[in-house]
Amino acid sequence: MKNLLKYLGNYKKECILAPLFKMLEALFELTVPLVIAQMIDKGIRENAAANIVRSFAVLVALAVIGLCVSCIAQYFAAKAATGFSMRLRHDLFAHILSFGFSEIDNVGTSTMITRMTSDVNILQNGVNMFLRLFLRSPFIVAGAMIMAFTIDFKSALIFVLVIASLAVTVYVIMKTNIPLLTRAQKRLDDVLCLVRENLSGARVVRAFTLEEDQIAAFTHTNADLTHIQKLAGKVSGLLNPMTYVIVNLAIVLLIRVGKIQIDAGILSTGQIVALYNYMSQILLELIKFANLIVTLNKAFASGERVNEIFGIRTDSEAENPVLSLNINDEPVVEFRNVSLKYHEGADDAVSNISFTVKRGETFGIIGGTGAGKTTVANLIPAFYKASEGEVLVCGNPVDSIETGVLRRFVGIVMQKSVLFEGTIRDNLKWGSPDASDEELLTAVNAAVCSEVVEEKGGLDGHVEAGGRNFSGGQRQRLSIARTLAARPKLLILDDSSSALDYMTDKKLRENIKGLPFKPTVIIIAQRTISVRDCDNILVLDDGEQVGLGTHDELLKSCEVYREIYDSQYRKEDV
């Protein structure tokens, strides 16, 4: 939690004023029993109406002032808590966006969503409650005990016994409850992950009629979460009844001792009532404090989980990063015996990959599903770091190039086309915010999606979240147009024409060749027709490099390439 306290740095004033006003309210509250004692001893017992009225007026004034002071304290506490969560959520979001592909793979999307929403909300509530009650409740408890000593020393010893007993109780319950709440939040991650998978894959679940299996899996996961939450709830639920038992037993003892003191003429009735009121105040404040402890337990557990995300460090930039790339430096891309493991101890996803891509060349990468094509593509813009070997762009190791420079130089169209809610123009400007409508339309024409844009109402056409109002092929072409609008020097098409028909695919490749900025192109595909015209083709099989050459050379020398070609065309040349 210490690392998160910096997010309260801009709210130091509110963090000081909120507890101060709460303690001021508590001071007024501690005065109430003394006023009531005076009303009983000086007003009711002596039948002095003026004294009763005066005491009543004081009580009303204390109530009104206390209400105003409390509202001010609530305002400052709420302002600090919401500001804290706003800044924390902003930095957490920015930190998550800095993650590389490997960090995202390791953490998981559902975990990051839970940290951003549930855990931050719990921390906000914890800060709010802390500022309001953490000083107020102990202040009233300590103040009530001190006021009790001013009335009668022997009776006040009961207060000391009560507070010591309750302190031990709260400590034991808190020590037991924090690990349970941490486990509960982790189980919440599992539930969220399962729900997210089923929502995104609902059609697949229905296609295989696995609804009952998924329901059973959810029931099991949810039962684990419910069990831990119930256990944590039972432990935290002990606070209130144990507080009531301890304090009420103390009240019984206080009344017993008070009767003896009254009979001995040591205390008056008003003083005993004041002591009883102070004990009741302690009871109410300790109940609030017990609930605060439960809230803080959850906040500490959530704080640890948020710190786990902040503790994940991405690879830092090189000490003297390359700040510019020269397309004339040959080769544009070079792989030198590159291998990659996605996780420590895992098998190589790709191994011993070596090739070069020259300026203006069209380079193809082909292979079956799981051959490692996308892995090779992701190594070029440094989405993943090579486990062995070296990846160079324009003669510079990708690790030494400033990230922004590298990502502007390389334009990659992913396998999965993703569009964001907004307009078509908004989506196309992701790679080039200053692009004119004419430049955007040029990119649209090159990506063979002019009719798509016109059908949706032009560049101002609406795009739903995830591009739900577009077909798979339309999303792919718009994604290609978005990358082309950025005018990258190196263009990577990662199986981005898989949803296109052969004629559209051919037209797209022809348009890319005719682009005025003449990018070097890497085409990744499963269809030989998409790569047959490339200057060089890399053939992958189960992460291994099994062929490198032109289409005609590979038909003669590479069995894997020939098998892919024959399976698609059945030896009928086209």
| Model confidence pLDDT, tens digit, residues 452-501 | 899 888 899 999 988 888 888 888 899 999 999 999 999 999 888 777 88
Element spanning 93, H or E: helix 49-97
CB 552 within 8 A of CB 536: no
Q: How far apart are CA 167 and CA 50, in angstroms?
A: 43
Prediction pTM value? 0.68
Could you tell me which residues come within 8 angstroms of residue 326 by beta carbon, excluding any fewer than 6 positions away?
A: 394
Could you tell me which residues come within 8 angstroms of residue 107 by beta carbon, excluding any fewer than 6 positions away?
A: 99, 309, 312
490-494, strands of its sheet edge to edge: 396-397, 388-393, 333-340, 350-357, 544-549, 536-541, 362-367, 520-525, 490-494, 410-413
CA distances from 19 to 70, 186, 405, 485 (A): 10, 33, 49, 55
Measure CA of the first residue to CA of the last residue in the chain; give whole Å.
Answer: 66
Q: Tokens 């059908």 label which residue?
A: 455
Q: How far apart are CA 269 and CA 95, in angstroms?
A: 64
Closest CA to 533 of 552, 515, 514: 552
Q: Sign (positive/negative) of CA torsion 159, 165, 171, 176?
A: negative
Beta bridge partners of 490: 410, 520
CA distances from 214 to 12, 82, 192, 219, 450 (A): 49, 38, 13, 8, 42
Pairing mode, if any, of strands 520-525 and 490-494? parallel
Any idea what DSSP says for residue 315? P
Percent of the chain with pLDDT over 70: 98
Read off the amino acid at residue 504. T
Structure-block tokens of residue 542: 């189960």
Q: How far apart are CA 574 and CA 562, in angstroms?
A: 14
CB 537 within 8 A of CB 365: yes
> Which 3 state secondary structure label does DSSP give 132?
helix
Q: How far apart are CA 189 and CA 195, in angstroms?
A: 10
Where are the CATH 1.20.1560.10 domain residues in the chain? 2-310
Closest CA to 525 of 492, 484, 482, 569: 492
Domain 333-569 carries which CATH code?
A: 3.40.50.300
CB 167 within 8 A of CB 259: no
Reported as half-sphere exposure (CB side, CA atoms, 13 A), residue 487 has a value of 12
Percent of the chain with pLDDT over 90: 25
Q: Tokens 């102070």 label which residue?
A: 278
Where are the CATH 3.40.50.300 domain residues in the chain? 333-569
Tell me the pLDDT of the chain (574 aa) as tens digits: 677 888 888 898 999 999 999 889 888 888 888 888 878 877 777 677 788 888 889 889 988 998 999 999 999 999 999 999 999 999 999 888 888 777 777 777 777 888 888 889 999 999 999 998 888 888 888 888 888 888 878 777 887 888 788 778 877 887 887 788 778 877 887 887 888 788 778 878 888 888 888 899 889 989 988 998 888 888 878 877 887 788 788 878 878 877 777 777 777 878 888 888 887 887 778 778 777 877 887 888 888 888 888 888 776 666 678 888 877 767 899 999 999 988 777 788 899 999 999 998 999 999 888 888 999 999 999 888 888 999 999 988 988 888 888 888 999 998 888 888 899 999 999 878 888 888 899 999 999 999 889 988 889 999 998 888 888 888 889 999 999 999 999 999 988 877 788 888 889 888 988 888 889 999 998 888 888 889 999 999 988 999 999 999 999 999 999 988 888 776 444 4
Beta bridge partners of 524: 365, 494
Any idea what DSSP says for residue 99? -
pLDDT in tens, 194-252: 887 887 788 788 888 888 888 998 899 899 889 988 888 888 788 778 877 887 888 78
Burial (Cβ within 10 Å: 0-12, 13-18, ≥19) of residue 320:
exposed
Domain 2-310 carries which CATH code?
A: 1.20.1560.10
Say whether the peptide bond before residue 19 is cis (omega within 30 degrees of 0): no
> Which 3 state secondary structure label does DSSP give 357?
strand
